Amino acid sequence: MKGGSAMARTIRIQAEPFDVAGETAALTRGRADIGAVVSFMGFCRDEGGRLTALELEHYPGMAEAEIARIAERAESRWPLLGLTVIHRFGRLSLGEEIVLVLAASAHRTAAFEAASFLMDYLKTQAPFWKREHLKDGTVGAWVEAKEADDRAVERWG
C-alpha cells in the first residue's frame, strides 16, 4: 500500500469507448487514502426517438489544454486525490457513452462537488460540438448550447 496523497490526473480525448471499472481501478489501485470516488458518465440519448446517433467534433490540442485548466481549478478548490476525464469524439450511436469524469477524495462531499463542477465546465468551456444524426438517415442540426448550462456554471462563482 502506497501512503502518498499524490494527485493522479488523467485526461484523454479518444474515439474509442472507455471502461469505467478499469479507470476507477487505475485511480484507486494501491491507495488507502481514497475513501470516495464519484463518477459521471454521459450517454447518447435518442431525444424522444428523433435520433440515431450524435457526431462529436472537437478542437484537438485545445480540448486537452482546456480540460487540464478546468481540472487545475477543481484541484485547487477541493482536496482531490485523483481526477480522470475522458471525452470521446466521432460518431456515437444511441446508448453509447460520451464522457467520463471521475473524482477521488478522502470524503464524499469533495468528490461529488468536484465531479459536478467538472461537468458544468466541460459542457460550456471544453471545445466540443455535437451534431444530430436523424432517424430518417439525414444529418440534422448542430446542437444548440443551453442557457441552463451557462447558469449551472455561474453557481461556482
Partner 1 sequence: MKLVYFAWVRERVGKTDEDLEVPEGIATVADLVRWLKGRGEEYEYAFENDGIVRAAIDHVHVKPEAPIAGAREIAFFPPMTGG
Chain residues that interact with a second copy, rule: CB under 8 A: 1, 3, 19-22, 24, 28-46, 49, 94-95, 106, 108-109, 111-112, 115-116, 119, 152
From residue 1 to residue 30, the character string flagging contacts with partner 1 as x (rule: CB under 8 A) and all else as - is ------------------------------
Would you count residue 112 as binding partner 1 (CB under 8 A)?
no
Complex with partner 1: residue 9 or 131, whichever CB lies closer? 131
Complex with a second copy: residue 27 or 63, whichever CB lies closer? 27
Residue 156 contacts which entry, partner 1, a second copy, none (Cβ below 5-8 A, type-dependent): none
Residue 26 contacts which entry, partner 1, a second copy, none (Cβ below 5-8 A, type-dependent): none
How would you classify the pairing of strands 8-14 and 51-58?
Answer: unpaired
